[in-house]
Amino acid sequence: MKIANKKVTAERLVKDALAKAKHFEDYHIFTFIDEEGALERAREIDKRIAAGEKVGRLAGVPYALKDNFLSPRGETTASAHILEGFTAPVTATAVKRLEDEGAIMIGRTNLDAFAHGSSTENSYFGPTLNSHDRERVAGGSSGGSAVAVALDIVEFATGTDTGGSIRQPASFNGIYGLKPTYGTVSRYGVVAMASSTDCIGFFTKTPDDMDLLMSVAAGRDPKDMTTLPDYYNEDDSQTDLSSTSLTRSRLYGARSLRTASEPSGTRSRKDCLRIGIIKEFDNESVHPEIRRALKEKCELLKKKGHEIVELEMPALKYGLAAYYILVPAEVASNLSRHDGVRYGFRSEKAVDMDSMYGETRSEGFMPENKRRIMIGNFVLSSGFYDAYFLKAAKARTLIVEEYAKAFEKCDFILTPVSPNPAFKLGEKVNDPVAMYLEDVMSVSLNLAGVPGLAIPAGETPEGISLGLQLVGPRRSDKALLEFAKELE
């Protein structure tokens, strides 16, 4: 990515990004553009560069912020009416780390309200359009962020991934999107969806850019007790071996990959990895173009000396049902805080406490928010708890175990992100189950806490982007990014 220096000023970089944001205004990418603030920060950085002062690793790099990250710059709405008017009094740790290195937020991006959705059509502000085909969805929930990077408005954008919300829009727009290992990047200051699966990650145009962002953002945060020690920036030899389910691939993969860019002829046997293909996700239910892309990448890997192994992971097909029980349960709990009392929108119809809660929440939430909250309260209610919530939590165990077993047989897994490429606007938005089915290949990673990287995989003959995801064991994020270069 372009970093500001004495020749290329931060002001120039920011002005270019702002001009492009304006040019693509009708894609509905941004919920807020901070023209004045971004330029002001750019000029400060330029002054420091001119004075020969040390500037950060992301000096003057314009970026887009998914509108569920708290920062006092602009309202944090999560694309929901109920948060309208909310200017955050705190800054998310991820935002702080990026900006401490000199990154400049030019605007906040559109999402499905509260990140509930797979198309960005559930936004209070209307849908974002796909970067390659304006009649199609951007994917979601981080649709605005994906399109901002795909249209080259910004060098990178932030995202959140609870069940695919980074990887799916990345693949719908032909860019890289990383959902890190659970706990890698602090969730402090990010609007909570489902605390046990929410992950903070990024959209970029290259694996190297992603690596740079991760090295900035990863690490323990005293404000988020579920952050891991900074394994990402540690040398392998210093990694705390006792605290993780360390598999052969993590160490082996990360070490051997350092030489993986050498021509295959000179590659020794230990540099060849085993890549798993999930049998259950390579059948007629998957779009033929996605299957073709998967096959092509497998051929490429074989040519480079890697081995393809077929995996049977029968529990994964229950991942979606388990996800749509566990996540709504956490959503119902997390979203109970939006009540019109302390911040955000309060209904004009509020005459007493009951009507303040009821009317505020009815007017403030989108239909999909209501569905998820009600499903959550259903699966948690007495009489249904054992049959749904507890059952799903047990299914989650089977999924975690299935990934652990898979990574005994292979180093990484290569699989589609979703069964179909970007669908038409309006095609699924009124059919929640049809929309949920688009998440069938992405959600199980979140339930297991393993990292997944969406990688571009060409286009359909009609020019619609295709993507695949590389999945690794926990804490293999860096090796995953390194290996992604093999697939370029």
428 is an active site residue: no
Query: Can residue 7 be called a binding residue for another protein (CB under 8 A)?
Result: no
Longest dimension (CA), the chain: 76
| Cis geometry, peptide bond prior to residue 186 (ω within 30 degrees of 0) | no
Query: Can residue 448 be called a binding residue for another protein (CB under 8 A)?
Result: yes
Between strands 199-204 and 274-278, the pairing is unpaired
Query: Can residue 37 be called a binding residue for another protein (CB under 8 A)?
Result: no
| Catalytically annotated residue among 66, 297, 428, 478 | 66
Query: Can residue 206 be called a binding residue for another protein (CB under 8 A)?
Result: no
Considering beta carbons, is residue 355 or 420 the nearer one to another protein?
355
- Per the CB < 8 A criterion, the answer to whether 340 and 347 are in contact is yes
Position 230, amino acid: D
Query: Can residue 474 be called a binding residue for another protein (CB under 8 A)?
Result: yes
165 is an active site residue: yes
Query: Can residue 388 be called a binding residue for another protein (CB under 8 A)?
Result: yes
Q: Give the C-alpha separation, 423 to 464, whole Å.
A: 10
- Per the CB < 8 A criterion, the answer to whether 379 and 328 are in contact is yes
* Interface of this chain with another protein, residues 428 to 447, rule: CB under 8 A: 431-433, 436, 447
Member of 8, 251, 321, 404 binding another protein (CB under 8 A): 321
Binding mask 213-242 for another protein (x = CB under 8 A): ---------x--xx-x--------------
Considering beta carbons, is residue 242 or 283 the nearer one to another protein?
242
Member of 30, 86, 232, 412 binding another protein (CB under 8 A): 86
| Catalytically annotated residue among 79, 141, 171, 249 | 141
Considering beta carbons, is residue 44 or 75 the nearer one to another protein?
75
Q: Give the C-alpha separation, 462 to 301, whole Å.
A: 26
Member of 392, 410, 479, 481 binding another protein (CB under 8 A): 392
Residue 199 to residues 178, 182, 193, 238, 239, Cα–Cα distance (Å): 10, 6, 10, 25, 22
141 is an active site residue: yes
CB of 146 to another protein, least distance (A): 25
- Per the CB < 8 A criterion, the answer to whether 50 and 60 are in contact is no
Q: Give the C-alpha separation, 281 to 416, whole Å.
A: 7
Query: Can residue 325 be called a binding residue for another protein (CB under 8 A)?
Result: yes
DSSP 294-347: HHHHHHHHHHTT-EEEEE--GGGGGHHHHHHHHHHHHHHHHGGG-SSSSSS---
Name the segment binding another protein (CB under 8 A); options: 130-138, 255-263, 395-403, 465-473: 395-403
Considering beta carbons, is residue 297 or 372 the nearer one to another protein?
372
| Catalytically annotated residue among 71, 142, 165, 418 | 165
Query: Which of 31, 57, 26 is closest to 155 using CA atoms?
Result: 57
Query: Can residue 97 be called a binding residue for another protein (CB under 8 A)?
Result: no
Q: Give the C-alpha separation, 245 to 228, whole Å.
A: 13
* Interface of this chain with another protein, residues 328 to 367, rule: CB under 8 A: 332, 336, 339-344, 346, 350-353, 355-359, 361-362, 365, 367
Strand order in the sheet with 156-161: 30-33, 104-109, 62-66, 156-161, 199-204, 176-179, 452-459, 465-471, 412-416, 274-278, 307-311
Sign, CA torsion 396/434/440/478:
negative
**Count residues contacting another protein (CB under 8 A)?**
73
CB of 73 to another protein, least distance (A): 14
- Per the CB < 8 A criterion, the answer to whether 430 and 414 are in contact is no
Binding mask 144-183 for another protein (x = CB under 8 A): --------------------------------------xx
Query: Which of 438, 196, 185, 187 is closest to 331 using CA atoms?
Result: 196
> How many other C-beta atoms lie within 10 A of the C-beta of residue 51?
7
CB of 265 to another protein, least distance (A): 40
Residue corresponding to tokens 């085909």:
133
Name the segment binding another protein (CB under 8 A); options: 81-89, 142-150, 259-267, 462-470: 81-89
Binding mask 105-144 for another protein (x = CB under 8 A): ----------------------------------------
Considering beta carbons, is residue 125 or 324 the nearer one to another protein?
324
Binding mask 241-280 for another protein (x = CB under 8 A): --xxx-----------------------------------
Considering beta carbons, is residue 37 or 229 the nearer one to another protein?
229
Q: Catalytic residue positions?
A: 66, 141, 165
